[in-house]
Amino acid sequence: MRTILLIIQKELLQVFRNKAMLPLLTVIPVVQLILLSFAASNEVKDIALSVVDHDHSSYSRLLLQKMTASGYFKLQQYADHHDQAERSLQTDEVDMVLEIPNGFERDLLRQKTADLQLLVNAINGSKGGLAGAYAAQVIQNFNQEIIADVVPMIGTLPATPRLDIQYSNWYNPTLDYKTFMVPGILGTLVTIIVMILTAMNIVREKEIGTIEQLNVTPIKKYQFILGKLLPFLFIGLFDLAIGLVAGKLIFDIPMVGSLGLVFAFCVVNLIVVLGIGLLISTMADTQQQAMFVAWFFMMIFILMSGLFTPIESMPKWAQYFTYPNPIAHFVEVMRRVLLKGSTFADIQWQFAVMTVLAITFSSLAMLTYRKTT
């Protein structure tokens, strides 16, 4: 026990003595949290719109007015003809072209049907999709109003069944993306910091040669590994704490569920990450190797974590890959507990998976660490 405490003391001493390290562990995560939470928005606003209005009628003007009033679109260009609008689309000046044909109002009144053309720049798939959907929504709305407007003029209208949808956004009533992103980003940051710190740790002792000196001492394997793991566990939990405080103060993120549960899950999550980090560190010979391997795993972990894109919309095979991904589970649990108030019973599955991973990686790290070559 004394030996473990000694190693922990030594590790913490080294971390805090490193002048670059302290701000890296305290200030930088908060800065990243703030920066990323403001920047990593899924919302699509100010879609640059070009309109080619061949009709110049009151209806076409009404439609246009509805488009701009929706808040999603910004009328960038009022094109004279189709070619001009298409050029603007190609040169990226506008994101979407709405073409209103000649006789739009007339057809609508006489034949009760009219065509519109929408050209959407879908080079960014999700932005294009959303732009199209928003436009469709506005046009749908416009359509409903016209019916109400036209019915008195033409007398009767065959009664059409109509579904009116009322939205209620649970757990995030105002659909504030920050509410959703901050817990996820925080979980990712804590995981990454701890993973890098551990991955670089033992390999650093190898590079400086201190491992040689340690190996001829009667230190036991488990003492060494525990002494290495625990300081970084503390650092990870500390980062989670300051991140949550910053999230509350700056973004006012809801904290519906138990914070104790969040920290408890974080401990399990960090044990997994520490295991992976140590495994990398014991296998690598240089810090460079360790860095690249850690980076490789981190890229996969982050991009497949469900932080930005929902896991449910990944192909089935890719979804299986998220099972051993600690970030995916941590992001999920952070969101569920903080926003929805999930209890232990709700996140049992995540706890179970992470416990299995924690045992697997820690024992692998323990087995691969050798005091003899």
Residues that bind another protein (CB under 8 A): 2-3, 6, 10, 13-14, 17-18, 208-210, 212-219, 371-373
Cβ proximity to another protein: between 111 and 372 the closer is 372
CB of 245 to another protein, least distance (A): 30
Q: Which is nearer to another protein, 180 or 232 (CB)?
A: 232
Phi, psi (degrees; rounded to nearest 5) at 117 = -115, 130
Transcribe 25-64 into DSSP letters: HHHHHHHHHHHHHHH-------EEEEEEESS-SHHHHHHH
Q: How far is the CB of 127 from another protein (least distance, A)?
A: 48
Q: What span, in angstroms and rounded, lies between the C-alpha atoms of 185 and 310?
A: 14
Q: C-beta of 358: minimal distance to another protein in Å?
A: 27
* Nearest CB to another protein, comparing residues 17 and 162: 17
Closer to another protein by Cβ: residue 7 or 64: 7
Q: What does the alpha-carbon distance between residue 225 and residue 218 come to, in Å, rounded to a whole number? A: 14
**Residues paired with 173 in a beta bridge:** none
DSSP single-letter state for residue 345:
G
Closest CB 205 distance from another protein, rounded Å: 9
82 sits in which H/E element: helix 82-90
Q: Describe the strand order of the beta sheet including 96-100 as a list of residue ranges.
A: 73-79, 47-53, 96-100, 117-120
**Closest approach of another protein to the CB of residue 225, in Å:** 15
Nearer to another protein, 309 or 368 (CB): 368
What is the helix (H) or strand (E) element at residue 96, kind and residue range? strand 96-100
Least distance (Å) between residue 224 CB and another protein = 10
H or E, element range at 105: helix 104-110
Pick 206 or 329: Cβ nearer another protein? 206
